[in-house]
Amino acid sequence: MGWSLAVHGGAGPSKHRTYEAEEAHMTALLERGADMLDDGASALDVVTAMVRELEESGQHVDGKGASANSEGVYELDAAVMDGAARRAGAVAALVGFRAPILAARAVMEKTPHVLLAGQGAAAFCGRQGLEQVPDPAAYYTPAVKKALVQGELAHGTVGAVARDASGRLAAATSTGGLLNKLAGRVGDAPLIGSGTWADERVAVSCTGQGEFFIRAAVAADISARMRYGGQTLHAAAAGALADMEAQGGDGGLIAVDAAGNVTAPFVSEGMKRGIATSAGRFEVKTFR
Ligand code: ASP
């Protein structure tokens, strides 16, 4: 059985600039993910590793590249979902920790809960011994500066979806959310079924204006369209995205199904994205 992998760096890019550095990093990342999957790694471990490296790159609006909220605080959201076991973990409005995706995974693996938020999430991460950010001003290097927001969509996220060689599906998403968001604002990324979803049928990671993805429950809607409507992955993803767009939002997503098909539709100007499969497909692009 083959494997499939897709990653994204958000649907916020603008045609006012190019993204060579981001595309080069994504290429190296996909090669690493491909090696892991060739070696029999689980989809869950691969999506976690991909998102962790995207967080640390500082190239996207998440992890090191996140922007502060309207009160100057770095509040981050992340989620991971293991489709085979239908397990999920997420953190929302997490302050002070370096790897939100590892925090989400710890929620999934070490608690009976799915989502921890705010102070409780931070206290849990502290008890887990997860790496802290002692000096936010020194650590964070916002990928999109507030002064540069003109001409750029003011949001960003990273994500990964995979189907491993055993046929298991997993999805992971991590974000700094919207620039200038209000304190306490939570987007779609950590909401299972909105920005992140994986089951036995499909794994999905979304990016875009989270409020619209929440109201369209985009990620779970793709699975429902496939399950109840018999739609293909491509039709289901395009249909769910069109429903979101019809509410006035924009963005995109990456998704992989149980047969290893991959899709990466977007209705924004661009979406930093990469796809690799064991059948030899390999592409990294930002625009159409
Ligand atoms: N969906 C993210 C959020 O609303 C932002 C993004 O994907 O660009 O938090």
- Residues involved in catalysis: 157
Q: Which tokens belong to 154?
A: 């003011």
Which CATH number belongs to the domain containing residue 261 in this structure?
3.60.20.30
Greater confidence, 225 or 180?
Answer: 225
pLDDT at res. 146: 53
Nearest atom of ligand 1 to the alpha carbon of 210? 4
Determine the distance separating the centroid of ligand 1 and the alpha carbon of 1, expressed in angstroms. Answer: 33
pLDDT at res. 176: 92
For ligand 1, atom 4: residue with the closest CA: 210
From 91, 207, 214, 253, the mutation candidate for ligand 1 (largest count of ligand atoms within 8 A of CB) is 207
pLDDT at res. 148: 52
Determine the distance separating the centroid of ligand 1 and the alpha carbon of 157, expressed in angstroms. Answer: 6
pLDDT, tens digit (0-9, with 9 covering 90-100), for 139-174: 998 887 654 544 444 678 999 999 999 999 999 999
Mean pLDDT for the stretch of residues 249-272: 97
Pocket of ligand 1 (CB under 6 A): 10-12, 155-157, 175, 177-178, 187-189, 195, 207-210
pLDDT, tens digit (0-9, with 9 covering 90-100), for 102-145: 999 999 999 999 999 999 999 999 999 999 999 999 999 888 76
pLDDT at res. 143: 83
pTM, 2 dp: 0.97
Mean pLDDT for the stretch of residues 185-213: 98
Question: Residue 177: which domain range?
Answer: 4-146+153-285
The dihedrals phi and psi of 282, each to the nearest 5 degrees, come to -150, 115
From 157, 185, 194, 268, the mutation candidate for ligand 1 (largest count of ligand atoms within 8 A of CB) is 157
From 59, 179, 197, 209, the mutation candidate for ligand 1 (largest count of ligand atoms within 8 A of CB) is 209
DSSP string covering the chain: ---EEEEE--S---TTS--HHHHHHHHHHHHHHHHHHHTT--HHHHHHHHHHHHHHH-SSSSGGG----TTS---EEEEEEETTTTEEEEEEEE-SBS-HHHHHHHHHHHSS-SEEEHHHHHHHHHHTTPPB-S-HHHH---SS-GGG-TTS-SEEEEEEEEE-TTS-EEEEEEEEEETTPPTT---STTSBTTTEEE-SSEEEEEEE-HHHHHHHTHHHHHHHHHHHH---HHHHHHHHHHHHHHTT--EEEEEEETT--EE--BSSS---EEEEETTS-EEEES--
pLDDT at res. 55: 96
Distances 263 to 8, 16, 73, 95 between C-alpha atoms, Å: 12, 26, 35, 33
| Of 92, 79, 112, the residue nearest 193 (C-alpha) | 79
For the chain, the domain total comes to 1
CA quadruple 174, 87, 244, 186: dihedral, nearest 10 = -50
